[in-house]
Structure 1
Amino acid sequence: MIFGTREVGWLAPVLARALPGIGAVLALSLLAAALGLALPMLTKLVIDRGIMARDMGRLVHYAALSFALGLGAVALGIANGMVHLRASADMLADLRQRAFDAALRRDPARKDLPLGETMARLDGDSGEIQRFAFDTVLVAIGALFRLAGGVALMAWLDWRLVLLPVLLTPIELIFLTLARPRTQSLAGEVRDQRGALSSTLAETLSLRQTLAALGASQARLAHFGEQQHSQIAGLMRQRLWAETVGAVSQILGAVVRAGVLLVGGWLVVRGDWPLGTLIAYLAYAAMMQGPLRNLLGLYHAQARSKVAVARLDALFAAARDEEGPAPPRAMEEITLTRLRAAGARHQPVSAVLRTGSRVLLDGPSGIGKTRLVATLTRDAPVECGAAEIDGRAVGDFGPAALRGLILHLPQRPGIMRGTLGENLRLAAPRAGDAALWQALEQADLGVWARSRAGLDTDLAETGADLSGGMRQRISLARAFLAESPVMVFDESFSEIDEAGAMRILAALETRFPERLLIFIAHNGPVRGLDFDQRITLSSIAPLRLSSRGETPNQRENAREKAV
């Protein structure tokens, strides 16, 4: 592999799909290189057979041919640039698409990649990998073609001067080998600083209202400034090192040009060389430096790309396979057998939740109610016990299929920037306008939507222009559109006024009498529903399952007050 000895499985399909584009760019590049190699030889002919021989006919002939080849090189350069842009952009889009998919599939148990760091890897590291992976073949083959052609033509002119660049190349390679570890170290430092800066930006902007209320905005701004200064210092160190490495290559190139000029000039003075040969030789010597530096530069570019691969590899490693068998849509029951999620504080839970029933999951804050229901969709790891759907372990089913069966509505729902209709269709992409309006009415949003632009009402990012209650109503409207036979309302009514909550609850009961509805609520009208089963989670006493009419969590609350 071009990124080291270890296979990078997620990158192989991207490279395979990019090969046709790389091939097209390579073909154009080689043709352009051939024209470039021919031009110095034509210049020699113009000087030696036209100017120095005082032959006007040949001068015009070779000058016209040189001009035509120059136009061809320009046209090829434009075509190559456009094909290169399209092919490289397609590869970058493909790579980002795969990385974005991995980020969306990140295992909920993994908390090691903040949002800003993830964004930095999706953008910067993907770009670094794409540039190296796409250009590696092009640079290597193109440079080898130019070097081989240049050396052959220089040897044809006079083989003795070819020894000078050949002898200096190992010196440059040794220097680059010694410099490579620092290149990789500085690249890793800068990448980490960019990730930290992106994390601070994302986190601070998402908490701007909280920071403003606490009067902490300026302190956060100062912290951001310190991070920027650190990043600038890291960039300066990286740039200084890159300039130093480049300077060595330029000095060696200058030595080659000076040697050719001195020795070749001496040969011209002696009459052993015509002037055109010296000019062509100088042109080829200059042309060789670029491909040679490109080939040797790939060695350092690989060091930088290895850092990017390692960072992006961590993103793919955190992703889990969402595919798997689907549970039966016409399920009858969910069985919990001494179940507890990792990190929860309650006693293990045993219960049977049947289709068509209404269940209240009760317990003090932080005891693990949300994590318990998250085990049903494999979004929280299990510490002990098991959960089954119609007698088959939840772990046998794919997470994506489980989420299609069990809809979890959190207390703080996600609202995307876009229209109201677009946000609702996240739950039902093919739903018509009539179905959307029906869901809005059932979620107590119909009057509000009609007073604005209806389904075309624009919503700000994260629903920042909405109250908490309005965001919860939009989430509940999605629930009315969803086809999930199991619904978990996790404090989904906590910010809705009592009258509105009662109307929505009544609509849920009317609309979904056959579905299993699980509620988590510490207060409000939800707790007054006629539940078929009340499950109280306790950390200090055996789990209590209570039937209709009993008050859940009463003893637990009494113990908390006593403490």
Structure 2
Amino acid sequence: MSGDDSLRVVFARHRWRLLLAVVLLLVTMLAGIGLLGLSGGFLTAAALAGALGAGATFNFFSPSAGIRALTLVRIASRYFEKLVGHDATLRIARDLRVWFFRRALPLAPARLGGTRTGELLARLMSDIGEVDGLLVRAVGPLLALAGSALATIAVAACIHWPAAALLLLLSLLVGIGVPVLAVRHGDAGEAARALHRTRLRALAYEGLEGAADLAALGALDDWRARVEGAARQLAGDDHRRRGRLIAGNVLHSACAGLGLLAMLWLALSAFQDGRIEAPLAATLVFLTVALLEVAAGCGLAWQALQSARISAARLRAIVEQPPSVVDPASPHSLPEPPATLSFEQVVFAWPGETRRLLDGIDLQLRPGERIAIRGDSGCGKTTLSALLLRLWDPQQGSVRWGGVDLREVAQDDWHRRVAWLPQGAPVFAGSIADNLRLGDPQADEARLWAVLEQVRLGEWARHQGGLSAWVGENGATMSAGQARRLAMARALLRDAPLMVLDEPTEGLDVDTADALLVDLAQALGPRSLLMITHGHLPEGVVHRQYRLQSGRLMPETGEVRSQVIEPS
């Protein structure tokens, strides 16, 4: 992927909203600091005027007007800062998820096949949740605090420059020194926390998905114990995280107390020496109080920054994996069907392994031909379909369509010519029509009913209430066989010249499976078929049957002969 699709670009897309949120936060902080400083000076002047008697005077109207103005500004800026900040955060959260899916989907299923679904869910939920508030919860407050500190120091310098020097020292101490000291060993802790959070989510997800199997095997207690163990680990991480934050707050309070005493001594000394008036001395003290108060959240911001960095690294670890296949810089056009699919001396071994799953495969599938490939589990049947789908490229040899090597064409162009029914094809939460139209979004109801009849689901669909009937999460209202047939109907709807089926009759009884395969052969029309199966095939469903063994194709009769299919 290019740098144009990085995390930085996601945030840059909302830079003006984020900048406005930071400015509004800065205005809120400045209004609060100014309000406390002005109020302190005003109250001191009023108290002194009252103590000195009727002859004493002080400016009442200007400070009181300033106090009212700052109060209104603080209320308004705080409201709009929350509004704009939350709006920016929600937009970033949306775009981060889109970014993650856009970057991760090309890696599926080849690169993501080794990542647990629960772990991907944790990256999608928890890690993005940490990253989406990076600027609003971490960088924004730190920038606004820096701006507030500079403004406060500038005001103090106009009153008494030693006070400004003290405020600069305090700002560096409580804004950078103390928080960095509190989180200095936090990277390892945040990484462990993210790992344990992922493990807990993965266990919870997988346990809920496999609850029936766990109950049948009597393994529920063991699963609960593992979940509780993961929860205790995460709770321990959170406890240590809070401990670091509390330690930082304690250190902040100690520094703030000493700094405030130093400012009080400095202001009183300056007043006693006649260098500043009493109201200005009080203003310096109250400005210090206000600045220390807004700096109290600095530790939380630094911790949020640390957590977001770890989570961003975890997201990049997923999406920055190299893809298993890459489109050519100048893709060739594929010939229009009918065309022959051919495997020519194809050799393939999984990365990091020396055993060749496919060792010199030669195969031709001509237009309208139907082939079945059998073999023991792990012999390479699904790998053969993965090369056909160009999820991987062969190490030697080539896969061609109409004589064009698939490595020379765009993946999207090739995938439009293939209808794929994988083993364990999902049924999505939605209606019957929603699931079917994934195969052809433009299909009308007549075509949907026709394909349901082809896979013998018409009567079931009418009994459920028609095409708008809800099938439930993962097809909860369907049997395994019905879910399989619905997925097959979805594949049949796809207008592609080549259909690839992986165990299409899994979960069906023998009679229904045979009837379904016969109907499938009739429904295919001129389309070609490559079927991977363990089951018995009725007469006439396919033209050729092959067994994949030791990396080579052999005729189903067991007699080794040429692997190139002759035209029927």
Q: TM-score range by the shorter chain?
A: 0.7 to 0.9
CA shift digits 1:267-289 (9 cap, x unpaired) = 55677654432432222112323
Tell me, in whole angstroms, the C-alpha distance in 1 between the residues paired with 2:458 and 2:244. 63
For 1:91, give the aligned amino acid: I
Unaligned runs of 5+ in 2: 51-55, 351-355, 561-568
Separation in 2, partners of 1:352, 1:42: 87
1:121–1:530 CA distance, 2 compared to 1 (3 A)? closer
Contact 2:349 2:358 in 1 (8 A): no
Instruction: Report the CA distance shift for 1:276/1:434 in structure 2 as closer, same or farther (over 3 A).
Output: farther
- Aligned mates of 2:167, 2:58 — CA distance in 1: 37
Deviations 1:362-386 (A, max 9, x none): 2233211111111111224535432
Which deviates the most, 500-509 or 148-157? 500-509
Which of 543, 553, 565 is equivalent to 1:532?
543
Change (3 A) 1:214 1:348: farther
Quickly say closer, same or farther: Cα 1:327–1:318, change in 2 above 3 A: farther
- Is 1:500–2:503 an aligned residue pair? no
CA shift in 2, pair 1:103/1:467, >3 Å:
same
Aligned: 1:190 with 2:193: yes
- 1:67 aligns with 68
Correspondence list, 1:75-474, <5 A = 75-110=76-111, 111-135=113-137, 138-168=140-170, 173=176, 177=180, 180-265=183-268, 274-290=277-293, 301-318=304-321, 320=323, 325=331, 327-343=334-350, 345=357, 347-380=359-392, 382-474=394-486
- In structure 2, the CA distance between the partners of 1:65 and 1:534, relative to structure 1 (3 Å rule), is same
Matched residue SS, 1:535? strand
How has the CA–CA distance of structure 1 residues 399 and 246 changed in structure 2, closer, same or farther, with 3 Å as cutoff?
Answer: farther
Contact map agreement 2:389 2:415 (CA 8 A) in 1: yes
- What is the SS of the residue equivalent to 1:150? helix
Name the CA shift for 1:288/1:34 in 2 (closer, same or farther; >3 Å): closer
The letter for the 2-side match of 1:18 is: H
Q: The residue matched to 1:139 in structure 2 has which SS?
A: helix
Contact (CA 8 Å) 1:102, 1:319: kept in 2 or not?
no
Q: Describe the shift of the 1:401–1:73 C-alpha distance in structure 2 as closer, same or farther (beyond 3 A).
A: same
Query: How has the CA–CA distance of structure 1 residues 362 and 414 changed in structure 2, closer, same or farther, with 3 Å as cutoff?
Result: same
Q: Does 1:20 pair with 2:11?
A: no
Q: Offset of 1:74 from its aligned partner?
A: 0.5
**Bigger Cα displacement from structure 2, 486-495 vs 55-64:** 55-64
Task: Provide the secondary structure at the position in 2 that maps to 1:251.
Answer: helix
Distance 1:248 1:553, change over 3 A: farther
Number of residue pairs aligned between Structure 1 and Structure 2: 543
Pairing partner for 2:494 from 463, 478, 482: 482
Shift of the 400–289 alpha-carbon distance from structure 1 to 2, 3 Å rule, reads farther
Shift of 1:353: 0.8
Letter in 2 for 1:199: A
SS at the partner of 2:92?
Answer: helix
Is the Cα–Cα contact under 8 Å of residues 117 and 198 in structure 1 kept in the other structure? Answer: yes
Native 8 Å contact 1:329 1:485 kept in 2: no
Inter-CA distance 114–553: structure 2 relative to 1 (3 Å threshold): farther
Match of 1:3 in 2: none
Structure 1 contact 105–322 (Cα < 8 Å) conserved = no
In the TM superposition, residue 478 of structure 1 has moved relative to its aligned partner by 0.4
Deviates most, 451-460 or 323-332? 323-332
Change (3 A) 1:248 1:552: farther
Alpha-carbon distance between aligned partners in 2 of 1:170 and 1:75, rounded to the nearest angstrom? 29
CA RMSD of aligned residues (A): 3.1
TM-score by length of 1: 0.87
CA distance in 1, matches of 2:342, 2:10: 43
State the shift of 1:253 in Å.
Answer: 1.4
Percent pairwise identity: 24
Q: Distance in 1 between matches of 2:231 and 2:300?
A: 29
Change (3 A) 1:201 1:102: farther
> Structure 2: which amino acid aligns with 1:531?
V
CA distance in 2, matches of 1:376, 1:35: 66
Distance 1:73 1:177 in 2: 29
